[in-house]
């Protein structure tokens, strides 16, 4: 997807056994899709940052959906059952969805875990890419790309940075 593209239709199963689509949070001013997984060290480091970010903006009408597209045959740690465990262990406050067919990740144009996609109230893509500029040390972060994009979007404005290359593990595509 390119900046300015509209969110496509999708339907994914969450770890709560409910199905989610682009209309699930139609009333929210911003929808963030995070392509991530269980096993990648980059993704694991960002879990708590994403939880804090969600809690900070939840009352401002933000919705976050976390999506795992990785092939569980290659990486059993990314299985649906393990996703359920992670959701419970980390007390994730947002839905964790399984993209078993990898269709959603492919349509998004995702390449890394984690990778963020921010959509405005009209479900137009306004930001894609990195969460921040320092995955290794949260205390050394100087650019909060995702948080800035969320703030701008919730305020009805365009983010200053719309496309920042993500840092993380490659998506484990099916062979």
All structural domains of the chain with their residue ranges: 11-170
Q: Given this model, what pLDDT does residue 99 score?
A: 98
| 103-162 confidence digits (pLDDT tens) | 999 999 999 999 999 999 999 999 999 999 999 999 999 999 999 999 999 999 999 999
Please tell me whether the peptide bond between 80 and the residue prior to it is cis, using omega within 30 degrees of 0.
Answer: no
Q: 77 vs 11, 18, 52, 116, 164, CA distance in Å?
A: 23, 21, 24, 21, 28
Q: Given this model, what pLDDT does residue 124 score?
A: 98
What average pLDDT score do residues 92-101 get? 97
Distance CA 153, CA 151 (A): 5
Fold for the domain defined by 11-170: Glutaredoxin (3.40.30)
Q: Given this model, what pLDDT does residue 52 score?
A: 95
Q: Given this model, what pLDDT does residue 27 score?
A: 94
Mean pLDDT of the residues in the chain? 96
Task: Name the pTM for this structure.
Answer: 0.96
Q: Given this model, what pLDDT does residue 46 score?
A: 96
């Amino acid at each position: 997807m390119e900046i300015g593209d509209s969110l496509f239709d999708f339907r994914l199963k969450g770890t709560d056994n409910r199905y989610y689509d682009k209309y699930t949070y139609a009333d929210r001013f911003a929808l963030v899709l995070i392509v991530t997984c269980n096993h990648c060290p980059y993704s694991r480091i960002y879990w708590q940052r994403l939880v804090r970010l969600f809690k900070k903006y939840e009352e401002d009408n933000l919705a976050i959906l976390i999506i795992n597209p990785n092939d569980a045959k290659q990486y059993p740690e990314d299985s649906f059952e393990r996703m359920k465990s992670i959701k419970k262990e980390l007390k994730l406050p947002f839905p964790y969805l399984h993209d078993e067919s990898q269709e959603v990740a492919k349509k998004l144009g995702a390449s890394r875990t984690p990778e963020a996609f921010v959509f405005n109230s009209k479900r137009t893509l306004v930001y894609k890419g990195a969460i921040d500029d320092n995955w290794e040390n949260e205390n050394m972060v100087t650019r909060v790309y995702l948080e800035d994009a969320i703030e701008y979007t919730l305020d009805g404005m365009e983010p200053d940075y719309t496309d920042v290359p993500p840092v993380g593990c490659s998506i484990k595509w099916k062979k």
